[in-house]
Structure formats: C-alpha cells, structure tokens
Amino acid sequence: MDFKITSDRRNELLKRREIEFTLGYDKATPSRSEVMGKVSAILNLNEKTVVLEQVRSRFGTRVVTGSARIYDDEESRVKTERGYLSERGKPKAAPEGGT
C-alpha cells in the first residue's frame, strides 16, 4: 500500500493533529481497521489515540482518501470525540450463548 499525507495541521485548542491522506492499494479495498493500522504504523502511533473521521473510495480507482485526528493522549480523545466515531470499524462482540 502506498500512503501519502496531503495535509497536516495542528489544533492546539483540542490537543490534536488533523491529517488528510491518500492510500493506494493493489487488492481489495482496505477496511477501516486496516487503514487505521496503516496510519498508526506509518506515523508510529498508538491506535487508541487515532480516530478516522472519514474514508472515501471512488469507483474505478484503487485509491482511498480520508482524514484522521491524532490526539496527544487517550484522555483528550475520550473528552472530545463522539463515541460512535471511536467504535467504527472495530469488530463486533459475538452474542452470548446464541447460535
């Protein structure tokens, strides 16, 4: 996968970096968790401090564009982010005792 940061801004008020990126891929479209892992690995970050705001792909191209917010610490992320954005892309828990 080919990863490139197109915009990188610092937001001191909310203690975070706001980045926009493009990600080229060869096989199937990467999932949100794969994109989050790639962003965290490239920038050498803890995944708990990264929130993917949006990930977009266009029909007929092998490029994903998106934006992410990278917080200084997990506490700042919890105070600021909406809960559903933090939970997006994570595997769902298996139902208990069901088939």
Considering the domain boundaries, does residue 95 fall inside one? no
Number of domains within the chain:
1
Q: Which domain holds residue 69?
A: 2-87
Dihedral (C-alpha) 45, 53, 83, 31: value to the nearest 10 degrees?
-80
Give whichever of 32-36, 85-89, 90-94 has the largest mean pLDDT: 32-36
Res 93 pLDDT > 70: no
Considering the domain boundaries, does residue 93 fall inside one? no
Q: What is the CATH number of the domain that holds 20?
A: 3.30.70.330
Res 99 pLDDT > 60: no
